[in-house]
């Protein structure tokens, strides 16, 4: 497998990934019509927890950030286990956001802030060095070469994530897609991050403090491998 990591040279990768900002948001935003409870949660609870659409975002305490939380299972478990941390989560898919609001209401947590849209547009408005951890878990893989620019792990988002993480902060990338794993290692490893893995167990066993996500569970249930990649901001 390690040989394959170098299937693309860095120059080839830079050429394919490009250095232009990734401004478009791909993927679905709307799904089936919301039922009564999700519709109520979107109307009543979402506005209480939502971040503004524009302007600087003021944060004061310990902050963790999740990109594309799906239905929010990982973020909600993190928020429950770490009441002194503010968990900021972004998810453009309205049905995912509504499902997450259900978990938030069920658990009664208050240390979450939400944004229904592009995570990059929130990251850019946060103060530099304000985040302890960033989670990018099972991002849409966009496996075709012509779609490489659509991947969240790319030049522009990485530069923004590096700026917003504190020194020593952590970027976690989980994926069940081998191409995305290779792309992530090659794209991240020569930037402002150090990959923490020293042995196989460091990337093929989920750490205890890494709650399971829905896509991870699907992959494992189908017998597919999952990669758990942890990088420290240097």
Ligand X SMILES: C[S@@+](CC[C@H](N)C(=O)[O-])C[C@H]1O[C@@H](n2cnc3c(N)ncnc32)[C@H](O)[C@@H]1O
Active-site residue list = 140
Task: Please give the residue whose beta carbon sits closest to ligand X in the complex.
Answer: 68
Q: What is the closest distance, in whole angstroms, from the C-beta atom of residue 145 to ligand X in the complex?
A: 19
Q: For residues 111 and 213, which CB has a smaller minimum distance to ligand X in the complex? A: 213
Q: What is the closest distance, in whole angstroms, from the C-beta atom of residue 69 to ligand X in the complex?
A: 5
Q: For residues 34 and 119, which CB has a smaller minimum distance to ligand X in the complex? A: 119
Q: What is the closest distance, in whole angstroms, from the C-beta atom of residue 198 to ligand X in the complex?
A: 25
Q: For residues 156 and 233, which CB has a smaller minimum distance to ligand X in the complex? A: 156
Q: For residues 10 and 86, which CB has a smaller minimum distance to ligand X in the complex? A: 86
Neighbours of 162 (CB within 10 A): 19
> 9 Cβ partners below 8 Å, 6+ apart?
none
Q: What is the closest distance, in whole angstroms, from the C-beta atom of residue 226 to ligand X in the complex?
A: 10
How far apart are alpha carbons 97 and 193 in whole angstroms? 30
Positions in the binding site for ligand X (CB under 6 A): 25, 27, 67-70, 90-93, 96, 118-120, 137-140, 152, 213-216
Q: What is the closest distance, in whole angstroms, from the C-beta atom of residue 115 to ligand X in the complex?
A: 8
């Amino acid at each position: 497998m390690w040989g394959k990591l170098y299937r693309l040279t860095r120059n080839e990768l830079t050429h394919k990934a490009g250095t232009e900002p990734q401004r478009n948001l791909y993927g679905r935003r709307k799904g089936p019509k919301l039922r009564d409870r999700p519709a109520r949660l979107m109307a009543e609870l979402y506005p209480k927890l939502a971040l503004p659409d524009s302007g600087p975002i003021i944060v004061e305490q310990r902050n963790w950030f999740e990109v594309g939380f799906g239905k929010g299972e990982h973020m909600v478990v993190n928020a429950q286990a770490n009441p002194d941390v503010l968990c900021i989560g972004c998810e453009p898919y309205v049905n995912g956001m509504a499902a997450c609001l259900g978990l938030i209401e069920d658990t009664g947590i208050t240390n979450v802030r939400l944004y229904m849209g592009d995570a990059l547009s929130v990251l850019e408005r946060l103060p530099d060095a304000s985040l302890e951890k960033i989670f990018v878990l099972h991002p849409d893989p966009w496996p075709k070469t012509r779609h490489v620019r659509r991947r969240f792990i790319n030049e522009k988002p990485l530069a923004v994530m590096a700026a917003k993480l504190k020194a020593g902060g952590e970027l976690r990338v989980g994926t069940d897609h081998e191409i995305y794993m290779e792309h992530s290692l090659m794209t991240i490893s020569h930037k402002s991050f150090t990959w923490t893995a020293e042995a196989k167990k460091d990337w093929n066993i989920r750490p205890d403090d890494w709650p399971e996500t829905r896509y991870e569970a699907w992959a494992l249930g189908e017998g597919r491998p999952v990669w758990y990649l942890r990088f420290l901001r240097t």
